[in-house]
Amino acid sequence: MSEAAAEIKALGDSIEPGITFDLDACESLTIVPKMFRKMALKTIIKAAKEKGHTVITKEFAESMKPGG
């Protein structure tokens, strides 16, 4: 896992208890500029909660991209 993906995982997993990011999702999110990551993670987590997901996969994270 890259250093950026590890940072994303730590941040994402800390935002909402009970919702975690899998490693592939974190790697795919490394393209998000660092200054926008927390906002992007919160948006993904909100959608995951609405859909009843507890683990955010690469596929789910990528479905949240504009045009995804």
CATH value of 3-63 in 1.10.10, 1.10.3720, 3.40.50, 1.10.8? 1.10.8
Domain ranges of the chain: 3-63
Confidence of residue 67 (pLDDT cuts 50, 70, 90): low
Q: Which residues of 31-60 are buried (b: 16+ CB within 10 A; e: fewer)?
A: ebeeeebeebbeebbeebeeeeeeebebeb
In this prediction, residue 58 carries a pLDDT of 96
In this prediction, residue 1 carries a pLDDT of 82
Calpha distance 35→57 (Å, rounded):
22
In this prediction, residue 21 carries a pLDDT of 97
pLDDT digits (tens, 9 = 90+) for 15-46: 999 999 999 999 999 999 999 999 999 999 99
